[in-house]
Structure 1
């Protein structure tokens, strides 16, 4: 299954900010929840294949009711699906869905992990999935996450027996079973044991059975939990929290209603001991889990009991003492001698020391009213340049503070303040604050680590295997703050961000960008040639530092590029300018090649563009895709000129049509209802439009009238669920969940005389070569005899279907419905897809008594 790196270089205009400040929440409810969590030493890892597979209600219950450290391991980032809110696909969609998952976790309280697996599209069986994923690599990532996270209990969303439908779903369960045992085996992935982890055996692996759609895998003899509990501290039930969490999956249209009242989750034991009364049966989840822990547990209970909502700072001295006690007990020689008798307990001991130390420190900061953050003076800096960082803290209590030290990521001192007497607010002064600046080197480009290198169909290429699991770059620029509070040094880290004030939206945070010195954005992803005339290739350059250098297109055999290079000098930070090259084929034969734009700055070469993705529900995303595009020389004839386009869930088809010379106009509802549609040679309806555009049900009669009067209407695929009307065409047919997922599955031409296979381009078997990812999705069945079905296809070993393309004459016009994945193929520059789609747009004239004139 082939995929292309579909980096769209359009800049989306929907504006977005980071949805939270850099400091964690410190409200009374959060503090109370964190006190309860402090007394729990247990962890649960939930495992599935994609964003949206997780059970957000169960995650919220485990994290915020039971206070377990709870994680979700999504094997993929959801890069193979369809985007219901924009036109990003593949890697770009995966970036958005990564942030959607992180936004969901901020609500339900769980942590987020990933493997290097890609979502390469719908898979019908686990065998195909594991082949493309490279089973050993993905299993290794899962073992690494398990050994780091050390879950007491693991939970699968899907079974190994196929009820989950998608091959990725079944594969995730198969891998989870193997990882359950492999993580405990020192002979499996022994290289991981050199990087700060040890083997780990979870107590049990459960399957969280389900009842959705037409599949019910639950039964009353299974272990079950009521997770519909109401949390008075949060003022919500876990059904309400789950709905808020799940509604972040906006690219998939998963806005959810809040649920209240009893809600049961069912479980089937796959490996390990079956639970009888609790998921954690047989697991010690209190402080007695560690030697000497009972003393700490007693102290935590006392601090929790004495906590006052009105004076949270009164708990700080006891918490500072507790922090010392945690360090002392975890470092106690006698205790360590005890745990060393059982090697596996040494790692458990160290693991919970790290977790509980962080929790106590965060509680100290929250109770003390200590707020601090670091933000850059500008949104972006070129790699290697120094950045000005503003460091602020506000100390809003009377807790004594003796010193403050602020360090950059390279341990350079940004500020150091010591006091002979403790600094604390007097009764007249309510806050102690500081605002100072320092310089920090910008070390590495802030490119998502999984996009640093080209990748295969099924998995990303990681520079180091130990990067697996991380949802984002672990080496993002940070600042360390060390406060001496009540006589004890306590250190914290804050990521460096950029913030500013928008007149309409107020204070806005966004991730800091460390960029190449100069980026190069190519105007088009694909340049299609149907004659030898050269085309202009425009490249937009942006400088992120003071720069001089040159830009060139790497030579391509069979193509003439002029000029060889273009110099630039004296460019300032923030400068943007456009240069133009001419490119034309020197050979007549059809071919497809990629080309790279090379920018040389101060003797170093770079080949990266700039892409911003901005939506209201996730932080702004900035990446630096390869400065690369395609030249496609094909035998392509065009008929007609004006195309009307009705947007659906979002795709790049209009841009692809403009690239080959069509005049494409996006139609509004007013234009559909009130204007003369006969001026359009064809009208195209975007993917899933009948799922997302409620108004199409009212516009449909006008569209059918357009066809009847001689128009040519081309409808692209729709999901079979949630259609706004079932009368999509002039005659009946049914959209069904049937796919051809193998992109090189044989295609049979059933009607060689069909106009869509002959005008203006003669379609042959060769036109179905080099397709990517899949052939057809949500095909049609129960097709009225008035429709012609010129194509037949099916996945290997399955019955073939005629439902990928149907065509019917209606009145003087023509209606076309196609589930072929043109929305993937055209942006990827697949020649045969262009030739066939142009034919669908090109209705040949009729002659009396003869039929279509070819």
Structure 2
């Protein structure tokens, strides 16, 4: 992924930023999830009206589904965080978050606030407002059921409370050590469509000649960054009206910023700066942006003379970036490796070039307390390379998203440091501070160290520098399932992140399990070396009860114990993500019986069900075109389709007849949930049924067996209420409806105070075989090691005793 720390700027970009320098207004968009934001409005406000524009997403989208891989929960939240940042780089906005964890679909704000700590989320929103100081706040959703999701409604409720609380010194007074109270001018709701005659209307479909694109085109590119949600959209062009309803503050009659002074006159002593910037804009030469540098240096000096304040700080940053861009000054800092460890000496390189005739001198480069005085001119178009060594301290923090550093309850991340709240990511672990003299003025430029290499296909690739523990341990699976009192060989891969690492590997086991041997020695000579050690882990006894607990790895080295693994997430559309979660796995004892072990699996949007079934002894073959269209399907005891397969696997429209014939001839086909939009075929089963948006979000919801005598509840495992204990996040989603009478429904369930639903799992005999459609969230339960989910799933795919193939 290309993510240069010194992004290029064209003459058109520079001219746009000059206009922004003369605009002193800010607006904060407010919603619940990645993808909730109105990218067309954000692009219009940031690039046409030139306001400082931000998006506050209460969550990082951890509870959704993943259309590009099998990452779920917090790992999906990491992907969606980066997708939001990619969207903001496109539309010109800035990105903020609260500590709210997306725990999945919520039907109302009461349920949401039962899981979120409302006061802490409100405090985070207030913190962002007090820091960002928006003149206007715009909500994506109304504070009622029209929002369609409990998180959506909650976001509007929090926005309204935060609007008042941010201005009240009695609310969250602990924040006032760092920030001041702030009164936003108005709060509005960006309605879904025309709501009423008194709505404020704004055409955001204009065309920007400097950018060569309209805001519908920019918005489409921005929204299409949400690839894990499959939100690629087509560009729109022409008039596009947005509507706004008043919620709080002064009423706007003509424009979002009615009554807001967005000129330099809002800053005492700033009026003359507006005149200076106006002259610079009028005289700007697209063929020679460097000609603007002397005047911009005078603007910088004038801004520095202003009293301390929000707009002084913001406009000083903008002016300095404009000076660098106009002068064609490019600076980047590189590390010699992608990973470094605390206490390590790291080879580094800083490169600079002055691509204009502007007089620039390199005064010094400093990093990590080390300073190199240089005092040499940067002559025209001459690349300067300075190499050196950086000594990382022993206390350098290991790379870890700040919201994942500590264990957290459902619904809320634990954040220890107030100043980190709201930030999309961590501060850079290591940066170079370059001091320049530009036209007689000293300027300091900060550049994070990144690792750069050349890929033969992608070209120049940048990766964030990662600070790693000296040794990491990786388990082959996140879950180990025991169906018998037999030992499992559990391999632990140990990798050194620095040279010369040796020690002992041990397993921390829950009660009821033992490991042979108790520890394993290891020695690794070079950084990056790996070895694998094996432990035989067995339950002390199997008494017929299902048990789930945690196994952890501890690596002893140099008098310290290290418990982290390393996980890397890589997709082409976002920068590489590295984190160091605890090296842990679930140990699950399941009283599980089988009938048939050979399965076929058709992948969908990405899940870990196939791997989970292999864990309990199934032989799982991934099926594709060749296997389905010309292979021997009858060899499989059951075939399973992955989640959303009929939404994402286009070939299923052609495979469906063969799958139905497989059932007709005696096979079992189990189809996992799909959404009710964009199905590749309307005929998902042998008989008609539809898909609804019904779901049960309470993972503790009571389950009623519609037909307690149904053989699927008794063979090969006896299913009871205990098998629905310990489920995570939800019971199921996108339940079936309008099912043909030939289908049998197995379960009835409901969220609190809602009607019973019978569409979670339907079954029909077809020919000699059996068809099962289930909306139950097995894709969450099986990887989480929920014992009862395994027992039920096995029943659904097992040959029944009265069935012959």
Normalised by the length of structure 1, the TM-score is: 0.92
Cα offsets for 1:508-537 (capped at 9, x unmatched):
101111111111111111111111111011
- 3-state DSSP class of the match of 2:147? coil
Cα offsets for 1:364-414 (capped at 9, x unmatched):
100111000101001101223222111110111111123421111x3311x
Q: What are the residue-to-residue correspondences of 1:724-763 with 2, within 5 Å?
A: 724-763=680-719
Paired with 1:610 and 1:571, the residues of 2 have a C-alpha distance of: 19
Aligned to 2:13: 30
Q: Of 331, 334, 352, which residue of structure 2 is paired with 1:372?
A: 331
Aligned to 2:621: 665
Aligned to 1:214: none
Paired with 1:301 and 1:440, the residues of 2 have a C-alpha distance of: 47
Aligned to 2:665: 709
- Is the contact made by 2:353 and 2:381 (CA closer than 8 Å) also made in structure 1? no
Q: Of 217, 222, 238, which residue of structure 2 is paired with 1:240?
A: 217
Paired with 1:522 and 1:571, the residues of 2 have a C-alpha distance of: 21
Q: Of 412, 415, 421, which residue of structure 1 is paired with 2:370?
A: 412
> Are residues 1:816 and 2:772 paired?
yes
Aligned to 1:562: 516
- Is the contact made by 1:395 and 1:433 (CA closer than 8 Å) also made in structure 2? no
Change (3 A) 1:664 1:352: same
Cα offsets for 1:545-584 (capped at 9, x unmatched):
1212211011421111121111223532110111111111
Aligned to 1:387: 346
Paired with 1:774 and 1:103, the residues of 2 have a C-alpha distance of: 30
> Are residues 1:790 and 2:790 paired?
no
> Are residues 1:676 and 2:629 paired?
no
Q: What are the residue-to-residue correspondences of 1:197-216 with 2, within 5 Å?
A: 197-211=179-193
> Are residues 1:86 and 2:43 paired?
no
Calculate the aligned-residue CA RMSD, in Å.
1.3
Q: What are the residue-to-residue correspondences of 1:388-537 with 2, within 5 Å?
A: 388-408=347-367, 410-413=368-371, 415-419=372-376, 423=377, 425=379, 430-431=381-382, 433-441=384-392, 443-537=396-490
Q: Of 700, 705, 721, which residue of structure 2 is paired with 1:765?
A: 721
Aligned to 2:537: 583
The CA deviation at 1:595 is: 1.3
- Is the contact made by 2:524 and 2:530 (CA closer than 8 Å) also made in structure 1? no
Paired with 2:39 and 2:236, the residues of 1 have a C-alpha distance of: 12
Q: What are the residue-to-residue correspondences of 1:153-302 with 2, within 5 Å?
A: 153-195=136-178, 197-211=179-193, 218-302=195-279
Q: What are the residue-to-residue correspondences of 1:608-647 with 2, within 5 Å?
A: 608-647=564-603
- 3-state DSSP class of the match of 2:523? strand
Q: Comparing both chains, which one has the higher relative contact order based on Cα–Cα distances under 8 Å and sequence gaps of 6 or more? A: 1
- Is the contact made by 2:431 and 2:448 (CA closer than 8 Å) also made in structure 1? yes
- Is the contact made by 2:700 and 2:727 (CA closer than 8 Å) also made in structure 1? yes
Paired with 1:384 and 1:430, the residues of 2 have a C-alpha distance of: 37
- 3-state DSSP class of the match of 1:63? helix
- Is the contact made by 2:345 and 2:389 (CA closer than 8 Å) also made in structure 1? no
- 3-state DSSP class of the match of 2:239? coil
The CA deviation at 1:845 is: 3.8
- Is the contact made by 2:115 and 2:410 (CA closer than 8 Å) also made in structure 1? yes
Aligned to 1:144: 127
Paired with 2:385 and 2:706, the residues of 1 have a C-alpha distance of: 76
Paired with 1:377 and 1:50, the residues of 2 have a C-alpha distance of: 37
Paired with 1:433 and 1:554, the residues of 2 have a C-alpha distance of: 52
> Are residues 1:600 and 2:556 paired?
yes
Q: Which runs of 5+ in 1 are unaligned?
A: 1-16, 212-216, 332-348
Paired with 1:77 and 1:502, the residues of 2 have a C-alpha distance of: 31
Q: Name the stretch that deviates more: 351-360 or 459-468.
A: 459-468
The CA deviation at 1:319 is: 1.2
Paired with 2:743 and 2:249, the residues of 1 have a C-alpha distance of: 56
Paired with 2:188 and 2:249, the residues of 1 have a C-alpha distance of: 9
How many residue pairs match? The answer is 800
Cα offsets for 1:280-309 (capped at 9, x unmatched):
111110100111100111111111211111
The CA deviation at 1:44 is: 0.2
Aligned to 1:6: none
Cα offsets for 1:99-135 (capped at 9, x unmatched):
0000000000000000000110000000111121100
- 3-state DSSP class of the match of 2:670? strand
The CA deviation at 1:258 is: 0.4
Paired with 2:446 and 2:138, the residues of 1 have a C-alpha distance of: 32
The CA deviation at 1:635 is: 0.5
The CA deviation at 1:600 is: 1.5
- 3-state DSSP class of the match of 1:163? helix
- Is the contact made by 1:84 and 1:253 (CA closer than 8 Å) also made in structure 2? yes
Paired with 1:568 and 1:675, the residues of 2 have a C-alpha distance of: 46
Paired with 1:570 and 1:738, the residues of 2 have a C-alpha distance of: 54
Paired with 2:391 and 2:222, the residues of 1 have a C-alpha distance of: 36
Cα offsets for 1:231-285 (capped at 9, x unmatched):
0000000000000000000111100100000000000010011111211111110
The CA deviation at 1:431 is: 2.9
Paired with 1:845 and 1:566, the residues of 2 have a C-alpha distance of: 46
The CA deviation at 1:588 is: 2.1
Q: Name the stretch that deviates more: 755-764 or 241-250.
A: 755-764
Cα offsets for 1:730-780 (capped at 9, x unmatched):
011111000000001000112222121111101011100110100010001
Q: Of 490, 504, 507, which residue of structure 2 is paired with 1:550?
A: 504
- 3-state DSSP class of the match of 2:678? coil
The CA deviation at 1:440 is: 4.2
The CA deviation at 1:846 is: 2.5
- Is the contact made by 2:601 and 2:642 (CA closer than 8 Å) also made in structure 1? yes
Cα offsets for 1:766-822 (capped at 9, x unmatched):
100110100010001111111111211111111111101111100000000000000
- 3-state DSSP class of the match of 1:322? helix
Paired with 2:800 and 2:5, the residues of 1 have a C-alpha distance of: 61
> Are residues 1:128 and 2:81 paired?
no
- 3-state DSSP class of the match of 2:556? strand
The CA deviation at 1:83 is: 0.4
